[in-house]
Amino acid sequence: MIFSEEAEASVIGACLLDPAQFDAVADVVAVEDFYFAHHRAMWSAMQQLALENSIDAVSLHERIYDHAEHYGGLAGLTELALNVPAASNARHYAESVHDKALRRRLRISLDEVSEQVSQPGSPLVEMIDKAQAKLAGVVGHRADKVTPVQGWLSSWVDELDDRYNGRIDPMGLLFNIPELDAKTSGMHPEDLVIVGGESGMGKTVVAAHILDSVCLRQRLPAVMFQLEMRKEQVFNRVMGSHTGVKLDALKNPRQCMSDEGWNQVTAGIAAAREAGLVIDDRPGLTPTQMRAAAKRWKEYYGKLGCVIIDHAGIVQPDDKTVPREQQVSEVSKASKILAKELGCPVILLAQINRENTKRGDKRPVMSDLRESASLEHNADLILFIYREAKHNPGCEHPGIAELIVAKQRDGEVGTVNVVCDLSRSRLLPATAENIANYHREFPRQPAAAFETDKFAV
């Protein structure tokens, strides 16, 4: 086994000799990095003592006396501190402890991968996903180098100047809905975007529109993890959004496709051939598996425009023993971390609970998100879709949907109206022309007709 008892003891001893050293090493080494159980107990207790500003041998001994037989009691702690070669080298000792911990984790991960490879019947692609996730998780976030603001302030000023002089467009990835883009400045790298709504309200229409906008129109690679539908069903919706061809025609072209429709589909196919679009419809994916797959696709394409996950409620947790609320919390947390790792927006679709149906105004609010606390906290942008026609089919404008910006870290909240054509899985700006075209194709029925329909045989 890979460990150094001397390095572990020296880290602890250095902090006992000079408590100021604790802050110098706390970002290098963690409790789980120590190999020996009594050293782990010591470091855990020292973390608590540091908060109380009372790191010393007596206080530490009182906290961990259950392990006294392993370290020799108070006399053993005193001797441990006296044997430290130089307290000022505490960070060097800590780096040695952390390095050996990483090597142990790497060996364990490699052993687990080797064992899985030897098991007959294990799907190769799934094994590769798990192996990549394991190896990527060995180093963790502490490998990132952090520098003071002075280290990157000049580049920040240069970027600000470039934005002012028009050399950098402040707009992120376009939603391709002008009013929404103006309100949000688009989607930005490292953002977690929550798209929420009731079942059947149109969340997947929004997702298809985003894929069309990012991938087919802005020509950036995109990955969608679709846990409910087949990839062909999702692609039908993307093509409907891009071409304006009805889903019925894509589903049954023999009966429903026109010559004009074929021309539109041909153009859409050409755009799709040039696009880096990945629709992963494997069932039962966990956050770890999605992370591994997304990082593999980023390596393949060089960059990703966005990642979409449909939807939070059916992502399988890595740990199925934890409570449901904690599972959803882990999904939202993992999605936010993934956005930062990939350097692109991650769009997480989420169901809302049915509390909105009990209100007079059924427009969703953030508290309607299922297990909402973690989703609210981790999201940079929360976007709800609401169609009045779902609750009131006889409403004046059944083709209008509201995109409600309920949270935006760097901007205002508000509502943007769009034309939502479910027959084509298409969103369009709510211009007078688009609204008139929709009403011509789908004439509004009087409310009485819907009441009569309830009794139709």
Residues 6+ apart with CB under 8 A from 112: 134
Give the pLDDT confidence of 197-224 residue by residue, as tens digits: 988 899 999 999 999 999 999 999 999 9
Of 20-29, 111-120, 179-188, 414-423, give the lowest mean pLDDT range. 111-120
Distance CA 348, CA 381 (A): 10
Q: Give the residue-averaged pLDDT of 264-269.
A: 89
pLDDT band at 141 (very low <50, low <70, confident <90, very high): very low
160: buried, middle or exposed (CB in 10 Å: 19+, 13-18, 0-12)?
exposed
User: Residue 456 pLDDT more than 90?
Assistant: no
DSSP string for residues in 143-173: GS----HHHHHHHHHHHHHHHHTTSS----B
- Report strand pairing: 426-429 vs 277-280: unpaired
Give the distance, in angstroms, between the CA of residue 303 and the centroid of all CA atoms in the same chain. Answer: 16
* 441: exposed, middle or buried (Cβ count in 10 Å: 0-12, 13-18, 19+): exposed
pLDDT score recorded for residue 143? 42
Whether residue 292 is predicted with pLDDT greater than 80 in this model: the reply is: no
| Overall average pLDDT of the 354-382 stretch | 82
Q: Which two tokens stand for residue 441?
A: 């194709």
Residue 244 has which token pair? 């304006």
- 3 state SS of 194: strand
Give the pLDDT confidence of 231-261 residue by residue, as tens digits: 889 999 999 999 988 888 888 888 888 889 8
Is the confidence at residue 337, as pLDDT, over 60? yes
Give 75-127 pLDDT, tens digit per residue.
888 888 888 888 888 889 999 999 898 898 888 888 877 777 777 766 676 67
**pLDDT grade for 415, boundaries at 50, 70 and 90:** very high
User: What is the pLDDT at residue 133?
Assistant: 66
Q: What angle do CA 157, 160, 166 make, to 5 degrees?
A: 140
CB atoms within 10 A of CB 381: 23
Higher pLDDT, 444 or 218: 218
pLDDT-based confidence at residue 371 (cuts at 50, 70, 90): low
- pLDDT at residue number 114: 79
- Residue 306 to residue 453: CA distance in whole angstroms: 43
Structural domains of the chain, with CATH: 5-141 (1.10.860.10), 178-453 (3.40.50.300)
